[in-house]
Chains A and B, each alone.
Chain A
Amino acid sequence: MIEIDSLNKNYGKVAAIKGLNLTIEEDRVFGLIGTNGAGKSTLLRMLSGILKADTGTILIDGQPVYDNPAAKSNLCFIADDPYFFPNANPMTMAKYYQTIYPKFEMDRFKTLLADFGLDPKRRISEFSKGMKRQLAILLGLCANTKYLLLDEVFDGLDPVMRQSMKSLFAEDMDRRQLTTIIASHNLRELEDICDHIGFLHSGGLLLSEDLADMKLEIQKLQCVFKNDDDLAEVMEKLHVVDHTTRGRLHTFVVRGERSEVEAVFDHVPMTFFEVLPLTLEEIFIAEAEAVGYDTRKLILK
């Protein structure tokens, strides 16, 4: 488990992390989302022991992480712009990782390289950006550490590759209780991978919740009223987070369990009514507004 308590980090006069408290449980994929400059990369680098906290503590399984090999040996960090040795090929890097991370799974790495179509003897400098990121993720996975920290490495991966990675994470979570922490500013790229979301804004934690729990408490629905005068009554009974209209079609994002929401519409004559799946973005907006943030002012993709 990763425990962060009253964490602060300043870059000169700029506060990158402000009084952050967060607990990341084991055996899950934790999505760390936020706008550019929210402090995601800073937090991930502090979790990796690269940056030292100004104040506050980070404990990895009860041990402080900064300059502590005992704690750091349980984690592997893959940066958004991963570094490879000049003229290295995937096998060169794997051998180096093997010396740093003694539990490195070389056989699995070779298998995965073949599965992903990456030539083990080809110079990495000749790889595309996406291929480099795939390689970095595979190296990180095969390092066989308890925690894998990925900083925006999924940005730019195609959906098929993301899905492949997701299945790899699922396999490792099942097999060895891997905990993955993925930072991204792109909600859509995370929603099919993460099962827990932490949202950072201006160095502080806006929310941290299981995605499934969020989905249970937020509903998205579309309807066409037979009598438009019913709208006011419905709006009054619902906890509406977002409401848009297109012609006579109303789209609501509302807070509440599905049964409660459907009950509101039971006695209202409808031409059309449907409960729709929620996107992570919609959930985020709902949750963020619940804690008092006007998310429309935030730049989100």
Chain B
Amino acid sequence: MTPENSSLSKLSQIEITKRRKLPIAIMLVVLAITYVFIPILFFLNDPDEAVSVKNYLAYFTNENAVISFVIGLIGVYFAASTFHYLHVPRQVDFYESQPITRKSRFNSLVLNNLVSFVVPYVIFVFLGLVITATTGVNLIANGQVWGSTLAYVVVFTAFYAITSLAMLVTGNTAIAMLGTIFFVTLEWIIMLVVNSFYSEFTFTGGSTAHTWTAFTNPWSQCFSSGSQPSYRGIAVNLLITLVYLLLAYYAYQHRKNELAGTAIIYEWIKRAVKVVVVLLASTIGAVMVYSMTNNSVIGGVLGAIIVGFLMAFILEIIFKFDIIAWKNHFAESAILVVLGIGVFLGLRYGGHQYDTWVPSEDQLASVALATSEGSYSNYYLGNKETDAESYAKVYMKLSASSQLLALAKKSAENTIVERNDYDSYHSGSEMLSFIYRLKNGKTRVRSYYVKRSDLKTYFEGVSQTAAFKKGFFPIYHDAAIQNNLDSVTFSYRNGEQTIQRQNGQLYQEFKQAYLTDLKQWDYNLASTKKPIGQVDVSWQQNGKKRKVSYPVYASYTKTVSFLKKNKLYSSKALSVNKQNPIEFYLNQDY
């Protein structure tokens, strides 16, 4: 290429910008409304709120879902308007006959779009911060705001890249928008199906949502950490941007111009989209109808057939822009629906297998048990508050005894019976989660409805072990308290009155006494006796108040002596109606 010709391969940024006046103007109006007019109105209408740092932080950071949504839409609009010319045959003739390489055009357009957004966006954020500063709230040097600004820029680039790919593999802008929705929501829909397995097909899957932060959805990544900018989300979105832009570039390089105006440029993408969409649609249709028809398998199969075929027909119509095309690739549609039915039946079978599975003693390394409503205390792991199950996952390591596995097996059977028989549902039983740690390093969790009679038979021995208590009572892992003794507040309450001391030194003495008494705690004690009171230990940790609680029984002589010695003991009788017993442990006839 001669020097003269090489200059031709570069598209002038000024010339591109001239052709993109409308998208840029719309973006500027949106940014002006968001970062200039709204802050001004905010200040004029509600001066009290205007001075609130909290409100302004919420407005300028990730907590503002509207801004995140709007910025995502701007990314979509920029990409759609940039590559729309490839969907219009006469524009394709005009642009693609020019002496500019596809590589050069792609790079120039992408660069122009990113700069066209980022520069005005940062300026408008700065303007917004200047306006808020006039109200007395100066956030101009606030790292959280600028971190969020960076996150929003990355959200823009991610949406821009996703839509660019959708535009470059399609020949029609409306179809490209559907493609964008497909790319952005696919992981969510897969998550929905995964969740439906636990919620619709298993009885022991527990109530925990089996979700994750969708990697391919820029909004999910943006909101994954609340008001703080998520640097992990930023990194993921940057990766998405890079991957999608590379794919878009590849798609442009291999794109056939004669297919402008058609639905999808690449035949294999049509087939892949159909496989994914029809499989998911028939599976979701099956799950929905299965759920609506009281777990009827026939209902599920019908749901798969109706929804699966409907989606297959719609896709074929879209692919050809011809309503008659619904019957195209009918055999393929039928096979996919059958596969969808297969997935549905597989989920159902898998659910049964999931529920009845109990590991053998040889497979198990250790077990942890947790009750959702059987805890005396709050739990903490590091700086974060957690629940009994998460705590037990870390600290409870029960050996795989035959007693424990018998309890698991009985409970699994009981759970299936109870959940299939709605009349006996949840009568005379309590929920207990088993966290199985397998020797292969994997962890499996099952939540069972356990009969009280089985608890008496099989849980009694388990509850007496030190391993159980270490994962149940937080007193065994009290480094956070020991590190913050200066802030410890010690109180005893028995329902009638609370006596409080702010004295960290008392804690060591209490701990010694309570650990001695705790040796006598077991299921038998907890199910036949009620605590006479409760010791609360509070402390400050990283600016937050923490509290753990311990039940005190009449037989806890060491603890009672300690309380009396330190004038913490209340001699007033504990009235029954002020007691807050733990349902899991107490016998019904207590």
Asked if B102 contacts A81 (CB within 8 A), the reply is no
**Pick the contact of A100 from B19, B91, B96, B99 — CB < 8 Å?**
B99
C-alpha spacing A114/B97, complex, angstroms: 27
Interface of B is mostly: helix
Is B15 within 8 A of A96, CB to CB? yes
Contact with A along B212-244 (1 / 0, CB 8 A): 000000000000000000000000000000000
In the complex, the answer to whether B93 meets A99 with C-beta atoms within 8 Å is no
Interface string of A34-72 (1 = CB under 8 A from B): 000000001001001111100000000000000111111
List A76-117 residues whose CB lies under 8 Å from chain B: 76-77, 79, 81-83, 85, 96, 99-102
**Contact A67 B102, beta carbon cutoff 8 Å:** yes
Partner of B100, one of A51, A69, A77, A102: A69
> Assuming A70-B5, A96-B15, A102-B8, is B93 touching A79 (CB within 8 A)?
yes
Closest Cβ–Cβ distance, residue B350 to chain A (whole Å):
42
Residues of B within 8 A of A48 (CB): 93, 97
Roughly how many angstroms separate A49 CA and B102 CA in the complex, as a whole number?
Answer: 11
Q: Which of A11, A50, A69, A99 contacts B1 (CB 8 A)?
A: A69
Q: How far is the CA of A49 from the CA of B100 in the complex (A)?
A: 10
How close is A151's CB to chain B, nearest CB, in angstroms? 8
Report the minimum CB–CB distance from A182 to chain B (whole Å): 16
On whether the beta carbons of A82 and B258 are closer than 8 Å, the reply is no
A69, B91: Cβ atoms under 8 Å? no
Which one of A11, A69, A75, A81 lies within 8 Å of B101 (CB-CB)? A69
B329 close to A (CB within 8 Å)? no
Question: B366: which A residues are within 8 A, CB to CB?
Answer: none
Nearest-neighbour CB distance to chain A for B5, whole angstroms, equals 4
Please tell me if the beta carbons of B97 and A77 are within 8 angstroms of each other in the complex.
Answer: yes
Query: Which residues on B sit within 8 Å (CB–CB) of A75?
Result: 97
Shortest CB-to-CB span from B30 to chain A, Å, is 21
CB of A73 within 8 Å of the partner chain = yes
Q: Could you tell me if B97 and A83 are in contact, using CB atoms closer than 8 angstroms?
A: no
Min CB distance A184 to B, Å, is: 17
Q: How far is the CB of B106 from chain A (nearest CB, A)?
A: 11
- Give the residues in chain B near A71, CB-CB below 8 Å: 99
Q: Which residue of B lies closest to A84 (CB)?
A: B94
Q: Which A residues lie within 8 Å of B575 (CB)? A: none
Residues of A within 8 A of B (CB-CB), count: 28
Q: Which residues of B lie under 8 Å from residue A11 when comparing CB positions?
A: 258
B90 within 8 A of A: yes
Q: Is the CB of A82 within 8 A of B5?
A: no
Q: How far is the CA of A73 from the CA of B94 in the complex (A)?
A: 14
In contact, A83 and B258 (Cβ under 8 angstroms) = no
Q: Evaluate contact between B8 and A49: CB separation under 8 angstroms.
A: no
> Cβ of B1: which chain A residues have Cβ within 8 Å of it?
69-70
Q: Give the CA-CA distance A83 to B84 in the complex, in Å.
A: 14
B92 at the interface (CB under 8 A from A): yes
Q: Is the CB of A50 within 8 A of B5?
A: no
Whether the Cβ atoms of B8 and A69 lie closer than 8 Å is: yes
Q: Are B9 and A69 in contact (CB under 8 A)?
A: yes
Nearest CB on A from B27, distance (A): 18
Asked if B328 lies at the interface with its beta carbon under 8 angstroms from chain A, I say: no
Please state if A50 and B90 are interface contacts (CB–CB under 8 Å): no
Query: In the complex, A70→B98 CA distance in Å?
Result: 11
User: A67: shortest Cβ distance to chain B, in Å?
Assistant: 6
Contact A79 B94 (CB under 8 A): yes
- Most chain A CB atoms below 10 A, which of B2, B4, B8: B8
Q: Name the one of A51, A96, A101 contacting B257, with C-beta atoms under 8 angstroms.
A: A51
Q: Which one of B2, B91, B93 contacts A77 once the chains associate, using CB atoms below 8 Å? A: B93
B579 on interface, CB distance cutoff 8 Å: no
Q: In the docked arrangement, what's the CA distance between A145 and B382, Å?
A: 73
Task: Assess whether B101 is in contact with A50, with CB atoms less than 8 Å apart.
Answer: no
Question: Interface readout for A207-226 with B: 1 if CB under 8 Å, 0 if not?
Answer: 00000000000000000000
Tell me whether B256 is interfacial, beta carbon within 8 Å: yes
A79 — which chain B residues lie within 8 A by C-beta?
90, 93-94
**Is B185's beta carbon under 8 Å from chain A?**
no
Q: With a CB–CB cut-off of 8 A, which chain B residues contact A100?
A: 8, 98-100
A73 to B7, CA, bound (A): 11
Provide the B151-177 mask, 1 if CB < 8 A to any CB of A, else 0: 000000000000000000000000000
Complex interface: chain A residues within 8 A of B104 (CB): 69
Q: Is the CB of B93 within 8 A of A50?
A: yes
Tell me the complex Cα distance, A72–B5, Å. 9
B94–A82 CB distance below 8 A: yes
A69 touches B93 (CB 8 A): no
CA separation between A83 and B12, bound complex, in Å? 20
Contacting pair B8 A50 (CB below 8 A): no
Chain B positions within 8 Å of A102 at CB level: 4, 7-8
Task: Compute how far the CA of A72 lies from the CA of B98 in the bound complex, rounded to whole angstroms.
Answer: 7
For the complex formed, measure the closest distance between the CB of A141 and the CB atoms of chain B, giving whole angstroms: 15
Q: How far is the CB of B329 from chain A (nearest CB, A)?
A: 15
Interface, chain A (partner B; CB < 8 A): 11, 42, 45, 48-52, 67-73, 75-77, 79, 81-83, 85, 96, 99-102
What are the nearest 5 A-B pairs in CB distance? A72-B99, A73-B99, A69-B99, A83-B94, A77-B97
| Beyond known contacts A45-B257, A70-B2: 9 more, CB 8 A cutoff | A49-B96, A50-B96, A69-B101, A70-B5, A72-B98, A77-B97, A81-B90, A100-B8, A100-B100
A-B pairs with beta carbons under 8 Å apart, 18 shown = A42-B258, A45-B258, A48-B93, A49-B97, A50-B97, A69-B1, A69-B5, A69-B104, A71-B99, A73-B5, A73-B8, A73-B99, A79-B94, A83-B88, A99-B12, A100-B98, A100-B100, A101-B99
